[in-house]
Amino acid sequence: MADVLIPFERMEELSNALGLIITEFKEASSRTGELENAIRTPLPGWTALKDRASDFESKWDDKRETLREKLEEMKKRVDENRQAWADLDAELAQMQEGS
């Protein structure tokens, strides 16, 4: 029988890293106005840069939400696969002990 190496620790590290990215994406939404506030209006009537920053932030918020949803699905799959392999490993070990 061939040996199969499943790096549970690496799968857990991946899940944790995805969780951190998801959290950052969620929290980033609350900071979207910071860029616009940092730009302000350099001279009276000069709002083009601030308007473009606002447009960018709006579009990036939409993309960030889409990415977050995909990352959440990926994390879910990693967690499910890790658990399935751990369950199989435990079952096979138990069967081997019973032999």
pLDDT digits (tens, 9 = 90+) for 68-87: 999 999 999 999 999 999 99
Q: Say if residue 19 is exposed, middle or buried (CB neighbours under 10 Å; 0-12, 13-18, 19+).
A: middle
Contact between residue 6 and residue 89 where contact means Cβ atoms under 8 Å apart:
yes
Which three-class secondary structure state does DSSP give residue 44?
A: coil
What does pTM read for this prediction?
0.73
Q: What does the DSSP 8-state code read for residue 42?
A: S
Asked whether the beta carbons of 6 and 84 are under 8 A apart, the reply is no
| Residue 14: predicted pLDDT | 96
Q: Which amino acid is at 28?
A: A
End-to-end CA distance of the chain: 15
